[in-house]
Amino acid sequence: MTWKVTPDLLGVVDASGVFTDTNPAWFTTLGLLPEEIESRQFFHFVHPDDISRTEAAFERVKHGHPVLQFENRYRHKDGSYRWLSWNAVPEGSRYFCSARDITRAKENEANLATREQEARFREQFIAVLGHDLRNPLSAVGAALRLLENEPQSAKALEILALGRQSVTRMSSLINDILDFARARLGNGIEIERARKSELRPVLSQTVEEIRLANPGTPLREEYSFQDPLDCDPERMAQLVSNLLSNAVTHGTPGKPVTVAARDDGGDFLLSVTNAGVPIPAETMDRLFEPFTRAEMRDSQNGLGLGLFIAQQIAKGHGGLLTAQSDDEQTVFTLRLPRG
C-alpha cells in the first residue's frame, strides 16, 4: 500500500542501471508513466551536468555501500528538471531507491544566496559612494581652493571656478545616489529627528540658496506655522531644496515660485508651487519613481532622483508628499503629523 500512496519516488534498479519497477509518484513528480521509465537506464533522465556524479554514486551502491541524500536533477516530461534527493541501498543484484522532490528547497536556497549577494553588493556599493568616491573628490575640491589663493591669471581663475562648480555638482550627484542606495538597497534614508527644531530659519536659508543660484526666478515665502517642529532639519532642507530646484527648472521663466508652510489642525503643511506646463498624466503616475523627470531634456542636470529622495524623506518623517498639476500651476504638498 505504501508503494502506491507515498509522495516519494520509489524504484528498483538492476545492475545495468535499468529501472525494473516504479511507483505512481513518478507521474506526480515527473509526469512519467511506468512504461516511459521501466526498461530504461536512469542516466536517460539525469541532467547532463550531474551524470558523472551520479555514475560515481551508482558505483558505490554496486560495491555494497548505501548512498544517502544524494542530490541530482531528473528531467520532467515537459523538458524541465526537478531536483531529487536519493537514498539507495543494495540487495543482492538489485538496488532499491527512493527520492524526494527538493526543487522548492533548492530554489529557496538559491534565493537566499542571491539575497546574501545583494546584501554584500549593497554594503560595497554604499561604502564606495560614502568613502572611495567622496574622499578623492573632497581632495580635488581642497586643491582647487588652494590654487585660487595663489596668484593666477584671470583665465586660470575662471577655469578653477568651473572646476569647483563641477566638484560641487559631482558631490551633489554622489549624495543623491547614496541616498537612493540607502532607500532602495538599505533600510531607508536616515532621519535624525530633533524635537525642538526651528524650521523657519532652515526654510529661509534654503530658499536663499536657490534664489542666489537662480536670480531670474522670483521666490516667494509664506509662513504661518508655529516653531519648533519635530523633524530632521537637514533632511527637511534637502526636501525643500529638491522641490524648489524642480519648480525652478520646470516652471515658466520669470514667473514666481512660492514656498508656503502652515499648520493644519494637528499637521504641518508645506507646499511648493510654480506656474508652467502641466505634468503629463503618464508622468504623474511615476513621478516619485527614481530616474523619472517631468520633462526629458538632454541638457537637464541631475539623475532624476530629486523627487524620489524628497518622497523618501517625507516617508521617513511619517509624512506624505503628493503632487497636483493643471494648466495653471503645479503644486507639491508635504503633510507631516506634528504628533
- Residue 132 has a pLDDT of 66
CATH 3.30.450.20 residue window(s) in the chain? 2-101
The domain 2-101: what is its CATH number? Answer: 3.30.450.20
Instruction: Give the CA dihedral 293, 294, 297, 303, nearest 10 degrees.
Output: -20
244-262 pLDDT, tens per residue?
A: 989 998 899 989 999 999 9
Query: Residue 294: what pLDDT?
Result: 52
Q: For residue 228, is the peptide bond before it cis, meaning its omega torsion is within 30 degrees of 0?
A: yes
Start-end of CATH 3.30.565.10 domains in the chain: 194-337
Give the C-alpha separation, 310 to 330, whole Å: 16
**24 or 304: which leads in pLDDT:** 24
Dihedral through CA 16, CA 22, CA 26, CA 31, nearest 10?
A: 80
CATH topology of domain 107-184: Helix Hairpins (1.10.287)
Class of domain 194-337: alpha beta
What pLDDT band is residue 291 in, cutting at 50, 70 and 90?
Answer: low
- What pLDDT does 69 receive? 92
Q: Strands 320-325, 194-197: parallel, antiparallel or unpaired by DSSP?
A: unpaired
What is the band of 222 on the pLDDT scale with cuts at 50, 70, 90? very high
Residue 302 has pLDDT above 80, yes or no: no
